[in-house]
Structure 1
Amino acid sequence: MPTIAHYLAQQPVFNPAGLLPFYFGSNQLGWVGPEIASILCSQTQDWKINQQTLYLDSPQPAQAMHKAAKLLQQQGLIQGWRNEQYGVYAPSLIAANDFTQPVLALERAAFRRFGLLSRAVHINGYYPDGSLCIARRAKTKSIDPDRLDNVAAGGIPLGEDPKDCAIRELFEEAGLNAQFSTALVLQETILMQRNEIDGTHRELLYCFDLALPADFIPHNQDGEVAAFYRISPEQAINDLSQMTWDAGIVTAHFLLRQGV
């Protein structure tokens, strides 16, 4: 029988070997594959490689980044363009948990190609008897289609507070009204980093717990969830391997807090 410890031991570990650090000024913003760096440097004067490091050298960094992202999209190297802006933050502000002053904003779909840090909310919904409410992602999702997920989860766009994002996602994905927001409890933040086929996934997860009414039945509003399941903690342990990596970690930590 699988255990939480066994699942956690299988988590992918980020390996920067073969990647170029990506800098703007004195700030390392992310990681870029050498083939992507070569494309950027060959197409525009805004990018330079020096001592195995990729530099963005432009007086208008936001425009230069947007231009680069569109170039990669046109070459099929960025999929699932959303027309949604995420903030890009300097390491010093990330360390200080200050997300009020982005260096620039960039299309969400481009973040993995540049190895940029994104942010997201994940909500563990649980019932009075200890069972969990788990979602199955729609097959049309560009990332991790048809995998299990938390009752609600989503990226934090530019200018939105994590709790406000959680409230919005709860309504869009599970039909929960804002009145339930008083029961939201931020438990922890988790930094996820791993190599992906489309770049580097770096995301700071804001992990909330939400006590649900015993008779709550979720209803998806935005078409991004195919189904919901009410499962026992024991079943949740069995299902961890069917979840997205991020949702699996968040759920595993929840189960540990519950003493499972």
Structure 2
Amino acid sequence: MSDNILSPQALPFLRHIERCNQARLPGERTPLFYQGRQIGWIAPEIAPALTLKGLRTGTSFILQDASILESLGHELALSGLYTSHNELFDVRDDEDNVIGQIDRGAIPLFGLPAEGIHLNGLVNTPDGLKIWIARRSASKRLDPCKLDHIVAGGMSAGLTATETLIKEAHEEAGIPEAIAQKAVPVARIQYALERAEGLRRDILHCFDLYLPNNFVPVAEDGEVESFHLESLSDIFCRVRDTNDFKFNVNLVLIDLFIRQNFFSVTDSIILAKALRGHRS
């Protein structure tokens, strides 16, 4: 087998990575610049409203003052162009400096990067390594009833990845802070895809946490329908054979499978390169 070709056993996993990186830019989007650097891609749905605000210059939109993003997002929601999440996210430049905030629901329309955390909740058992899996509530706005990590969530304005992890661990699964603090950062995954809500340019901060054998998660905030402790081997087959998991969860699990040596060395190198090779 060529060093650049996945084996038939690993090839099905590649579809998840490709699915999360199907955005072809610019498409119908217009670049958004701040201080001479591009920070986003404006969707055609909101382009007329931003043009009326005087932000359009030729073939681009220029943001002179990033502090207006919050009010812009609010006005667009009032105009019915999207449904507000009533949760602000930080907007950062390419040097990771916070330049403003905007409602979470507006981020895909502006084509801005959004950051979040995903936690692999692992348990060492006599029967091998297992992982806690959540089923998303039927009331979730995005991807209802899909399978998910025990803890996953977006980074609200002002929070770091670790602070978000501790907050979400308590809210989503009842994990005490003393346990959540033991989580280890293991990966940073980026992708860009078009979805119904707009352009998703997400940055996932991924963590591993080995939980006590007697720990049972509790859905504290109503966002999870149920939790199940599953063999990692069974989850490997489920990711390979189905689309049961929320789209981005598959990427974090593939990274976990690589680190747990579920693939051959060659397949691991190719899949790792695919995961890390995409920039949003």
User: TM-score, normalising length from structure 1?
Assistant: 0.87
Counterpart mapping for 1:1-260 below 5 A: 5-10=11-16, 11-12=18-19, 13-16=22-25, 17-42=27-52, 44-45=53-54, 47-51=55-59, 53-57=60-64, 60-63=65-68, 65-79=69-83, 81-91=84-94, 93-94=95-96, 101-128=97-124, 129-240=128-239, 241-260=243-262
1:4 Cα offset (Å): 5.1
Question: How much identity, in percent, do the aligned residues show?
Answer: 27
Counterpart amino acid of 1:24? Y
Confirm or deny: 8 A CA contact 1:121 1:205 kept in the other structure.
yes
| Distance in 1 separating the partners of 2:137 and 2:204 | 21
1:182 Cα offset (Å): 4.1
| Distance in 2 separating the partners of 1:9 and 1:142 | 24
**Deviations 1:138-166 (Å, cap 9, x if unpaired)?**
11111211111111011111211211211
Confirm or deny: 8 A CA contact 1:77 1:198 kept in the other structure.
no
Question: Which stretches of structure 1, 4 residues or more, deviate above 3 A after TM superposition?
Answer: 2-5
| Distance in 2 separating the partners of 1:174 and 1:158 | 22
| Distance in 1 separating the partners of 2:160 and 2:66 | 24
**Deviations 1:39-96 (Å, cap 9, x if unpaired)?**
3213x23x21412x22234xx4323x233323332343312x23222111111x13xx
| Distance in 2 separating the partners of 1:35 and 1:254 | 38
RMSD over aligned Cα atoms = 1.9
| Distance in 2 separating the partners of 1:133 and 1:196 | 27
Structure 1 runs not aligned, ≥5 long: 95-100
Q: Secondary structure at the match of 1:172?
A: helix
**How many correspondences in the alignment?**
245
Structure 2 runs not aligned, ≥5 long: 1-7, 263-280
Confirm or deny: 8 A CA contact 1:131 1:230 kept in the other structure.
yes
